Structure 1
Amino acid sequence: MNTADASMFDLLSHSQSVALLGVSPRPDTPSYEVASYLQSQGYQLVPVTDGDDSVVGYPTAKSLDKVTEPVDVMSVFLTSDQAPALTDDVSRLGVKAIWVQPGCSANVEQACKQTGVPVYTNHCIMRDHQRLLGNAKA
């Protein structure tokens, strides 16, 4: 196992909560599929979206600055070219790593890299979990 895989394995096997920044409340979207999978693996989800009031049964926060509970890792689904300000919230929430899903813009990737925590760009947290933990419950 390479160093990045070993780090991801450690994070995924020891984390309890995942913030999903930009997750869609629509069941026909890849981000919703990821949320459903992570829920099935026992993670506590913190959906952050300006869409519906809940995603896979978890109440949504309209923005990251509205999240009050600690978050172990974050997965980002933002495709806009507008880079979010993440550093203060990532630090405040105790995020240990960020997965930047395939399809995110370069500006979003750069904003994630400025947070100072490990960033796995162009990685799907669900696929990494399946590959490294083999669909084992979190």
Structure 2
Amino acid sequence: MSDPNSDADIASVLKQARTIAIVGMSPKEDRPSWGVARFLKSQGYRIIPINPGHAGTTMLDEPVYADLKSIPAEISVDMVDIFRRAEAVPAVVDEALTHLPGLHSIWMQLGITHAEAAAKARKAGLKVIEDRCPKIELPRLGNTPQSA
């Protein structure tokens, strides 16, 4: 099996994604999740903030949802970007697999890996990137929806 974090796989995930749910997005501008979401939005992606404590508000001009299952069916999410501790990843992956039928990939941020949840997502046909940050990978690979 090829390395799931190969440049080719990362580039493929970033090129295929258009709408990204940011699980654990903070409203605080100094937090990594906010900076990554702002960067992704500036690169042409639509971001969907997920934070139960701020559901019903807006972040970066997008409505915040409590969880993945609360995202309206008419919004097709391509990628779930997880800003949660590794212990939370299995529940996020299960919810994504259950409620996001058009999903293509799961992305775990720097420092986050979960072998069992990653294997489950891959078995369901999703690409999985672990322990990486799209804000770092996009400029490195030069691959945005605008260049697709």
Structure 2 stretches lacking a partner, 5+ long: none
The answer on whether the counterparts of 2:22 and 2:50 sit within 8 Å (CA) in structure 1 is: yes
The answer on whether the counterparts of 1:25 and 1:51 sit within 8 Å (CA) in structure 2 is: no
2:21 counterpart letter in structure 1: A
Q: Which residue of structure 1 lines up, in the alignment, with residue 109 of structure 2? A: 101
Is the aligned partner of 1:77 residue 2:79? no
Structure 1 length normalisation: TM-score? 0.82
2:129 pairs with one of 120, 125, 133: 120
Distance 1:109 1:18, change over 3 A: farther
What is the rounded CA distance, in whole Å, between the counterparts of 1:32 and 1:85 in structure 2? 19
Show the 5 A alignment for 1:46-85: 46-52=48-54, 53-68=57-72, 69-79=75-85, 81-82=87-88, 83-85=90-92
The answer on whether the counterparts of 1:13 and 1:133 sit within 8 Å (CA) in structure 2 is: no
Structure 1 stretches lacking a partner, 5+ long: none
What is the rounded CA distance, in whole Å, between the counterparts of 2:12 and 2:59 in structure 1? 26
Distance 1:91 1:10, change over 3 A: farther
Q: How much does 1:134 deviate?
A: 6.2
| More moved, 20-29 vs 3-12 | 3-12
Q: How much does 1:114 deviate?
A: 1.9
Query: 3-state SS of the aligned residue for 1:39?
Result: helix
- Bigger share in helix: 2
Distance 1:23 1:110, change over 3 A: farther
Per-residue CA deviations over 1:23-73 (Å, capped at 9, x if unaligned) read 111101011000000010111111111133222111111011111321111
Q: Which residue of structure 1 lines up, in the alignment, with residue 93 of structure 2? A: 86
Query: 3-state SS of the aligned residue for 1:47?
Result: strand
Could you tell me the percent identity over the aligned residues?
26
Structure 2 length normalisation: TM-score? 0.77
The answer on whether the counterparts of 2:14 and 2:143 sit within 8 Å (CA) in structure 1 is: no
Query: 3-state SS of the aligned residue for 2:53?
Result: coil
1:6 pairs with one of 8, 11, 16: 8
How many residues are matched?
135
The answer on whether the counterparts of 1:38 and 1:126 sit within 8 Å (CA) in structure 2 is: yes
Distance 1:129 1:115, change over 3 A: same
